[in-house]
Amino acid sequence: MDRQELIRLYYQMVLIRRLEERSAELYQQDKIGGFLHLYIGQEAVGVGVVSARRPQDHVITAYRDHGIAIACGLTAEEVIAELLGKETGCSKGMGGSMHLADVDKRFWGGYAIVGGHLPLATGLALAEKYRGTDTATICFFGDGSTNIGYFHEALNLSKVWDLAVLWVCENNQYGMGTAVERASAVSEIRRKAEGYGMANAQVDGMDVLAVRQATLEALERVRQGEPFFLEAMTYRFRGHSMGDPERYRTGEEVRKWQEGDPIGRFYDHLLKEKIADQAALEAEEARAEKEVEQAVRFAEASPDPSPEQVYDLVYVK
Amino acid sequence: MAIITMRQAISQALWEEMDRDERVIILGEEVGLWGGTYAVTKGFYDHFGPERVRDTPIAEGVIAGAANGAAMAGLRPVAEIMTINFAFLAMDQIVNHSAKIHSMFGGQIKVPLVIRTVGGGGRQLGSTHSQTPDVVFAHFPGLKVVAPGTPHDAKGLLKAAIRDENPVLFIEHATLYQTRGEVPEGEYLEPIGVSKVQRSGRDVTIVSYSKMLQVSLQAAEQLAAEGIEAEVVDLRTLRPLDMGPVLQSFRKTNRAVIVEGGWRSFGVGAEVAARIYEEAFDHVDAPIRRVAQQEVPLPYNRELEQMMLPQIEDVIRAVKEVL
C-alpha cells in the first residue's frame, strides 16, 4: 500500500470520528431526530474492510451505518444532510441516520431491522452469480444479529448456493446492552460459521491494516465462489445509541478499550514507520474537521424535502 | 380463445415471461425438481435449468430476502412462498423491506419482485394452512397485492406483475387451480390496480375477488333465475384499490353486498363499504352487507369447515336482505 493510500485511510477514520462527534452535538441540539448510533471506536473495521474492496463490490450493513457510508465514499455533506432530514441527504431525508445509501457507490444501505439485511446480501450475491461475475458482496452486521433466524437462513443459503458473500461480524461485545456471553450459546462467534462448513477467521478490529489484510485474503476466496466469515473484534466507545445509560459495562472496561483506540494506534504506526510526520497527520485532522464543519453548514442551509416527494416515492411510477 | 385452467394460465404467464426476459428467475421450495407443490412450475426445471429455477431450503425469510436482494440488483425474481400462511415467516422481508426500500432510500433502489403464494380454506388442512389473510398484506403502502379470480386475469395480471417495477404479492387460491376459463391465444397483459365488472346487472352490486368471485358469479346466476340481476365487480387488486367500477355500479344499483374469503373484522368488506359510504352516501338505499368467513380458526372437519366459509346461499341471502 502506498503512502498516499495509507494517509487516505487515516483521513477516513478521522473524518468518521469527527462526523460522529459532531452528530452527537447536533442530536443534543435536537437537530437530528430519531435514533442515533455512533460508530466511534469501530472505525478500523469499516475503513479496513471497505479499503479492500473493488469499486463494483456490493456493501450492505445495519443501522450503525455512518462510518461504512463514509468508507464507501459518501461525502460528509450528504450524510449530515440526511441526518438533518434534508432533501440533499443521500436518501433525500426519507431514511435518516439508520438508512443511508448510495447505490452509485454500491452502498446498498443501512438497515434497521436486526438481521433483516443478511438475506438481502444473499440476493445481491445471487444476482452476481447469475450474471457470472466475480463481484463480491460484503455484508456487515453486529454480534447481536447472530442469534436471529435470518443469520442462520442467510449463512446456510450462501453456502448451499456458493454465493460470493463476505460476512463481516463487527463484534463490539454487546447487542444493545446484552453481552455476547449472555445472548449467544457460542461466544466465539466465528465458530457459528463452522456449523455451515464455512471458512472463517477472526481479526483484531482495532487495527485497520490487519482488518484490511484479512479482508483481502477473504475476498480472494470469496471471488472463487464461496462465502467467508470474518469476525472483527471491536468495541463501541459510546452507548448503543444516544441516551444509553450504560449500566451494563464498567467505565474501566471502556477505558481499557479506549487505550487501544484504532485511530491512535494507526497514528502511532504511521509515525513509527515514518510514513507521515506529525504535521502531515495534523493537517489531515484539520482537513477532516473542515469537511465536517462545511457539511454541517451545507446541511443546515439545505431545504426540507417536499410533501409531494413522500407520496411520489411510495411506488416506482 | 382457448379454454384453460387457472393452473395452466399461471404457468403460461411464468413460462412466457421467462422466455421473454433473461432476468426472470424463479426461487422457492420445491419449484424445481418437484415441479411446484401445486404443479405450476412443472417442466420449468428441465427447460430453463437450475440457475433460473432454484430450489431453496425451507426458509421463507431468506427466500423473500434473497428475492428482494436479487431484485434490488436488477433481476426479476419470482419467489414462490408455498402458502400464504408461511408468508408470515417472511413478513418482515415483505413489509419492512420489499414495501419500504424504494421510499426509504429516497427512490434510488427499486425492488421489482413478485412473490407468488397460495391462500384460502376449503381443503381440510386445518387452521394454520387455510387462512385468507390478504388484507394483512394489503395494509402496507409500497406493496401491491393482486388476487385474480379467473384464468384470464391470472395470466394477464401475473405477466404485468413480473414487468412491474414494484414488489407485487400475487395471491392464488388453493381451490381455483382447476377452474377453467377463456384465455386469448396471443400475448396480453391485464393492468394491476384496475377493478373489473365480471357480470352486468341493474339490481344490486356484488363486490368480490379471487375464489369469492366465482362464488359470487354462481350466486348471481341463481339470482337471475329469480329475476334479480346482480352486477359483479371483481377487485382483482387489493392495493392499489380501484373503487371506480365499484362506485359506478353502486350509483346505478344503490345496493351492495361485499363477499370475501377472509374474516369480516377489518376486512375487504369493511374497507369497501366505508369507501362507498364516504364517496356515494347519497346513493345508499339499504345498509351494505358483508359476507365473510366466520370469526373462527378453521376446523378440519369437512362439513364444519365448509359451514365456516362463505357459500353461494350466504351471498344470495345477503343480496335479498339489501333488496
pLDDT tens-place string over residues B137-179: 999 999 999 999 999 999 999 999 999 999 999 999 999 999 9
Interstrand relation of B144-146 and B168-173 (parallel, antiparallel or unpaired):
parallel
* Domain ranges (residues) in chain A: 3-312
Phi/psi for A40 (5° steps) reads -60, 125
In order of A239, A240, B235, the CA distances from A175 in angstroms are: 11, 8, 46
Q: Which CATH superfamily is domain A3-312 in?
A: Thiamin diphosphate (ThDP)-binding fold, Pyr/PP domains (3.40.50.970)
Nearest to B222 by CA among B314, B148, B309: B314
B70 interaction partners in chain A (CB closer than 8 Å):
123-124, 126-127, 130
Asked about B129 being catalytic, the answer comes back as yes
Given a cut of 50, the residues of chain B with pLDDT beneath it are none
| Best to test chain A binding among B29, B88, B103 (most A CBs inside 10 Å) | B103
pLDDT digits (tens, 9 = 90+) for A201-243: 999 999 999 999 999 999 999 999 999 999 999 999 999 999 8
Mean of the pLDDT values across residues A15-40? Answer: 97
Mean of the pLDDT values across residues A38-55? Answer: 98
| Interface confidence: ipTM more than 0.95 | yes
CB contact under 8 A, A122 and B69: yes
Q: How far apart are the first and last CA of chain A?
A: 46
Nearest C-alpha of chain A: how many angstroms from B101?
9
CB contact under 8 A, B73 and A128: yes
Helix (H) or strand (E) holding B80: strand B76-81
CB contact under 8 A, B102 and A316: yes
CB contact under 8 A, B104 and A153: no
A127 interaction partners in chain B (CB closer than 8 Å):
69-70, 73-75
Contact A43, A262 (CB under 8 A): yes
B59 interaction partners in chain A (CB closer than 8 Å):
153, 156-157
CB contact under 8 A, A153 and B57: yes
What residue of A is the nearest CA neighbor of B64?
A: A119
Instruction: Identify residues of A whose CB sits under 8 angstroms from chain B CBs.
Output: 58, 89-95, 99, 101-104, 108-109, 111, 113, 116, 118-128, 130, 149-150, 153-154, 156-157, 160-161, 310, 312-316
B17, B29, B60, B271: which one is catalytic? B60
What average pLDDT is seen over chain A?
97
B129, B152, B231, B271: which one is catalytic? B129
Say how many residues make up chain A. 317
Contact B70, A58 (CB under 8 A): no
Q: What is the pLDDT of residue A162?
A: 98
pLDDT digits (tens, 9 = 90+) for A79-135: 999 999 999 999 999 999 999 999 999 999 999 999 999 999 999 999 999 999 999
How many Å separate Cα A238 from the centre of its chain? 15
- Torsion angle, CA of A99/A104/A105/A106, rounded to 10 degrees? 70
Percent of chain A with pLDDT over 90: 99
CB contact under 8 A, A154 and B109: no
Q: How far apart are CA B168 and CA B263, in angstroms?
A: 22
Contact B217, B232 (CB under 8 A): yes
Q: What is the pLDDT of residue A243?
A: 86
Instruction: Sketch out chain B's domains with CATH numbers.
Output: 2-183 (3.40.50.970), 196-322 (3.40.50.920)
Helical residues (DSSP H) of chain A, grouped into ranges = 3-28, 43-51, 66-71, 76-83, 117-131, 149-160, 180-183, 190-194, 208-222, 251-259, 262-272, 278-301, 307-312
Sole residue written with cell 440526511:
A82
Q: What is the pLDDT of residue A9?
A: 98
CB contact under 8 A, B71 and A123: yes
CA pseudo-torsion sign B3, B4, B9, B12: negative
A118 interaction partners in chain B (CB closer than 8 Å):
62, 65
Helix (H) or strand (E) holding A167: strand A165-171
Nearest C-alpha of chain B: how many angstroms from A37?
18
Residue type, A139: C
Q: What is the pLDDT of residue A158?
A: 98
Phi-psi domain of B48 (left: phi exceeds 0; alpha: psi -120 through 50; beta: other): alpha
Using a 10 angstrom Cβ sphere, with 0-12 exposed, 13-18 middle and 19 or more buried, the burial of residue B33 is: exposed
Mean of the pLDDT values across residues A63-76? Answer: 98
CB contact under 8 A, B65 and A119: yes
B69 interaction partners in chain A (CB closer than 8 Å):
119-127
Contact B276, B284 (CB under 8 A): yes
Instruction: Identify residues of B whose CB sits under 8 angstroms from chain A CBs.
Output: 25, 51, 54, 56-57, 59, 61-62, 64-75, 77, 92-93, 96-97, 101-110, 112, 141-142, 144, 165-166, 240
| Best to test chain B binding among A130, A131, A138, A158 (most B CBs inside 10 Å) | A130
CB contact under 8 A, B103 and A118: no
Q: How far apart are CA B222 and CA B311, in angstroms?
A: 13
CB contact under 8 A, A315 and B93: no
| Whole-angstrom Cα Rg for chain A | 19
What residue of B is the nearest CA neighbor of A86?
A: B106
Q: What is the pLDDT of residue A1?
A: 85
Confidence of residue A155 (pLDDT cuts 50, 70, 90): very high
What residue of A is the nearest CA neighbor of B55?
A: A161
Q: What is the pLDDT of residue B96?
A: 98
CB contact under 8 A, A153 and B93: no
